């Protein structure tokens, strides 16, 4: 877990300089203390930034997120705060870890590096209509040109969001 510590300690000044805010989702409290503290320091140091948001998924699991959202909704029903008829996709999404991001939580494009072609428990609910791009390159070797290639491939796709193609 040295990589996140090195990243946060090295790049936070640059993030502050560029007005980038650090946020995160996942089981942050379960991280090793030094990693947790480096992350929390980055969040605190950038909390007033108003530009882009750099959102880290640290110790995050999509299945756990869905189970926790379900438990939260069940508790709301049991406490009489909502009725079962009130449960819909919007309510469910509002109980996910990404709820503060609203519709921005649903990625349009997910780039998977290292030749892997699986979702790996990542943003299971949010990626329902995402487009996927698979690259054989490892993440540390990924370049701006590789990103441009992925974006070009994405721009040529016919996004239907689960609907069938009109004839």
- How large is the average pLDDT for residues 138-158? 90
The structural domains of the chain, with segments of one domain joined by +, span 10-60, 62-94, 106-157
Stated as kind and residue range, the H or E segment containing 52 is none
pLDDT band, very low/low/confident/very high, at 1 (cuts 50, 70, 90)? low
Neighbours of 121 (CB within 10 A): 12
By the 8 A CB rule, do 141 and 124 touch?
Answer: no
pLDDT digits (tens, 9 = 90+) for 90-134: 999 999 998 877 667 788 899 999 999 999 999 999 999 999 999
pLDDT at 165 over 80: no
Tell me the C-alpha distance between 127 and 24, whole Å: 17
% of the chain exceeding 90 in pLDDT: 68
- Strand 53-57 relative to strand 109-112, pairing: unpaired
Q: What is the reported pLDDT for 19?
A: 96
């Amino acid at each position: 877990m040295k990589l996140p510590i090195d990243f946060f300690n090295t790049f936070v000044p640059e993030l502050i300089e560029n007005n980038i805010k650090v946020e995160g989702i996942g089981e942050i409290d379960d991280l090793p203390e030094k990693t947790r503290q480096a992350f929390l320091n980055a969040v605190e140091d950038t909390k007033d930034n108003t530009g882009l948001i750099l959102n880290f998924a640290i110790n995050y699991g999509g299945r756990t997120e869905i189970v926790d959202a379900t438990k939260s909704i069940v508790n709301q029903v049991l406490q009489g705060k909502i009725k079962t008829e009130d449960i819909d996709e919007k309510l469910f999404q509002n109980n996910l870890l990404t709820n503060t991001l609203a519709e921005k939580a649903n990625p349009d494009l997910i780039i998977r590096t290292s030749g892997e072609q699986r979702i790996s428990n990542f943003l299971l609910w949010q990626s329902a209509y995402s487009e996927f791009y698979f690259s054989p390159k490892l993440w540390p070797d990924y370049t701006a040109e590789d990103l441009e290639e992925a974006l070009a491939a994405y721009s040529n796709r016919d996004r239907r969001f689960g609907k069938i193609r009109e004839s």
